[in-house]
Chain A
Amino acid sequence: MVEMTYRDAIKTTLVEEMDRDPSVLLLGEDIGIYQGTFRITEGLLERYGPKRVIDTPISELGFIGAAIGMAMLGLRPVVEVMTWNFSLPAADQILQNAAKVRYFSGGQVDVPMVIRGPNGAGVQLSAQHSQSFESFYGHFPGLKVAAPATPADAKGLLRTAIRGRDPVIFLEHAALYGTRGRVPDGDHAVPFGRATVVRAGSDATVVAYSRMLHLALAAAERLAQDGIECEVVDVRTLRPLDVETIAASVRATHRAVVVQEQWKPYGAAAEITAAIYEHCFDDLDAPVERVTGEDVPAPYARNLELLAFANEEKIVEAVRRVTA
């Protein structure tokens, strides 16, 4: 075990995988000479050279499409999107090609690639730069979607993503890059589709992921002072989704709150909530609550922005309602 930041966990994994396997290479805007917008790729151009650390033009459609072609030919490209907001010009490539060539080719090709970068709310970045894509990409079969909350999971899930045979949407959170945590040494890998119980409790289950996990844990601490013990489950990957672990927790606590940073309609929280009803209807002692952001584009003004996203207070209130 060694303590490191979420950022270093990602970077270390890239280095370990690139050292291990020459078919792993990186592409993205300003990942080389500029050293990476969030410094994930600092020093990697020097270490691996321009053939493996490719600075691309502002051309998301082009280079993500090219990475798909590389993956189809057996390379393992890891693409950095400067932020997930800029993945939209490439959505055609990701949704129409990466997600589907295996299927419509009748299984003739693998697409072993990772697209990674910061997702979610920023600070006063307003509507175009402060949004989440897990629900959007999570909708499409053929893609896998991971959203690690801790350095250990960032490392373990990224390793699994790089070594796998499928295209992975790897959603980091800009607000987590500086957070620290203990990370297992060596070939630490976290399988996809395994949620984890991060905090044990008997009164209610709080389901979260990415940055929201930390708000859920903080809310649980506050509620514990009033004698309400929350079990907090980190789903870690949204596709595949580990319904079993979530359901097992809800069967024990009989109450559930599902947290997601942004928009409620058609979202990941809706999916998880529906799964709880499908699997635990008879076990529930209260309707499942969803804690989400408000249904508006992100505002710029700081006071409005603070109202716009899910927060600790909203989680506390929701848990109080389901346990009342």
Chain B
Amino acid sequence: MRQLDQTLSAELLLDWYRTMVLVRRFEEQTERSFRRGKIGGYLHVYTGQEAVATGFLAALRPDDIYFTGYRDHAHALVRGTDPGAVMAELYGKATGVCKGKGGSMHLFDVERGFYGGYGIVGGHIPLAVGAAYTLRYRDTDRVCLCFLGDGAVNCGAFHEAANLAGLWGREGLCPVVFVIENNQYAMGTSVERSSAVRHLARRFDAYDIPNEQCDGMDVIAVYEAARRIVDDVRRTGRPYGIEAITYRFAGHGAADLFQPYRDRKEIEAWKARDPIVLLEQRLRGQGALDDQKVDEIGAWADRVVEEAVTFAEASPQPPPEELYTDVYGD
């Protein structure tokens, strides 16, 4: 783990630690709920990648906005969306963030600047570019983050959106940060087998967009890069691309149990760099965390998750009339 930035207080790091533990426990619970048939559809969990959403969203201002793909639970939780409302959404309940109409892949919390999770790989990237343009069109200095997977960089949507961002950025009209969450796999297809250029950040070179990689297992490294990049994009109105190197510990989706496309050893090797453990070690070294505190935080996260489940379980299903609402605005 990187040398600690002096400006990062132990309190802040502890806060990230709590967030990451909460995301981890939340996701472990969603897998259990899925197996019990409480959560339907597809379920893609975020275990292993916690440092990426945590570090990046920590670098945003409250009025900044962001988009992501379908692996989106963390992106809501990290920003402070009520875990009960997120769980209720997964349970398809009326109290869910989207009234039970979006489900796991389509969480939204516009009030917190979260413009949604999207189920079609790559499809949300152009939206983020248009949203970024709008922020400058309105003469604000807000920025837009766009999370995407390593699989999404092979979609036409990525390239068309990056080209537009490069063009509009020349005039300072596209304050978007593309965050590639390179978790090494698109379902069962590894980056080696899907991308002619394995250094994914370099894809942005083609569109004259500055870019870099960062260690996506190290929340401090993620945050420091994010902070610098977000500040730069806020100042210039120009896009930036960053590839966070990370790993998903779970299967692609909750139904992906056997994982013939990767071996145990590989998973274990990455787990040795578990972002939560890395941060825990750092904080222990600083004396900011001990066994007791670790247990306390774990118990707290479990309690929050349990309450979320209780809330989701107890919540009513959407009323039948809700089928017909929200199709049109007028």
Chain A residues in contact with chain B, CB under 8 A?
25, 50-51, 56-57, 59, 61-75, 77, 89, 92-93, 96-97, 101-112, 141-142, 144, 164-166
Q: Known contacts A92-B123, A106-B98, A106-B326; decide if A65 and B161 are in contact (CB<8 Å).
A: yes
Q: Which of A73, A96, A106 contacts B134 (CB 8 A)?
A: A73
Decide: B163 and A109 in contact? CB cutoff 8 A: no
Indicate if B99 sits at the interface (CB-CB under 8 A): yes
A214 to chain B, nearest CB (A): 30
Decide: B326 and A57 in contact? CB cutoff 8 A: no
Q: Which of B96, B161, B327 contacts A142 (CB 8 A)?
A: B327
Bound-state Cα–Cα, A71 to B131, Å: 8
Q: Give the chain B neighbours of A50 by CB distance below 8 A.
A: 171
Q: Give the chain A neighbours of B125 by CB distance below 8 A.
A: 65
Ranked nearest first, the 4 interchain pairs of A and B with the lowest CB-CB distance are A65-B126, A69-B130, A62-B160, A165-B329
Indicate if B325 sits at the interface (CB-CB under 8 A): yes
Q: Give the chain B neighbours of A141 by CB distance below 8 A.
A: 327
Q: Give the chain A neighbours of B161 by CB distance below 8 A.
A: 62, 65-66
Bound-state Cα–Cα, A113 to B195, Å: 35
Decide: A103 and B163 in contact? CB cutoff 8 A: no
Indicate if B124 sits at the interface (CB-CB under 8 A): yes
Nearest residue (CB) in A for B124 is: A97
Q: What would be 27 A-B contacts, judged by CB atoms less than 8 Å apart?
A: A51-B137, A57-B164, A61-B126, A62-B164, A63-B160, A63-B164, A66-B127, A68-B126, A68-B130, A69-B67, A69-B126, A69-B127, A70-B130, A70-B131, A70-B134, A72-B131, A73-B65, A97-B120, A102-B328, A104-B98, A104-B106, A105-B116, A106-B96, A106-B100, A107-B326, A108-B98, A112-B329
Using a CB-CB cutoff of 8 Å, which residues 165-213 of chain B contact chain A? 167, 171, 173
Decide: B330 and A165 in contact? CB cutoff 8 A: yes
Choose among B108, B120, B129, B160 the residue with the greatest number of A CB atoms under 10 Å from its CB. B160
Indicate if B77 sits at the interface (CB-CB under 8 A): no
Nearest residue (CB) in B for A110 is: B329
A206 to chain B, nearest CB (A): 29
Bound-state Cα–Cα, A123 to B125, Å: 37
Decide: A70 and B330 in contact? CB cutoff 8 A: no
Bound-state Cα–Cα, A105 to B101, Å: 7
Q: Which of B133, B157, B325 contacts A61 (CB 8 A)?
A: B157
Decide: B123 and A166 in contact? CB cutoff 8 A: no
Q: Give the chain B neighbours of A97 by CB distance below 8 A.
A: 118, 120, 123-124, 127
Q: Give the chain A neighbours of B160 by CB distance below 8 A.
A: 57, 59, 61-63, 65
A318 to chain B, nearest CB (A): 34
Decide: A105 and B106 in contact? CB cutoff 8 A: yes
Q: Known contacts A106-B102, A109-B110; decide if A62 and B120 are in contact (CB<8 Å).
A: no
The proximity string for B residues 62-94 relative to A, scoring 1 for CB distances below 8 Å and 0 otherwise, is 000101000000000000000000000000000
Q: Give the chain B neighbours of A111 by CB distance below 8 A.
A: 329
Q: Known contacts A65-B157, A105-B116, A106-B99; decide if A93 and B126 are in contact (CB<8 Å).
A: yes
Using a CB-CB cutoff of 8 Å, which residues 103-131 of chain B contact chain A? 103, 106, 108-110, 115-116, 118-120, 123-131
Indicate if B51 sits at the interface (CB-CB under 8 A): no
Decide: A25 and B329 in contact? CB cutoff 8 A: no
B312 to chain A, nearest CB (A): 15
A102 to chain B, nearest CB (A): 5
Bound-state Cα–Cα, A33 to B127, Å: 25
A87 to chain B, nearest CB (A): 14
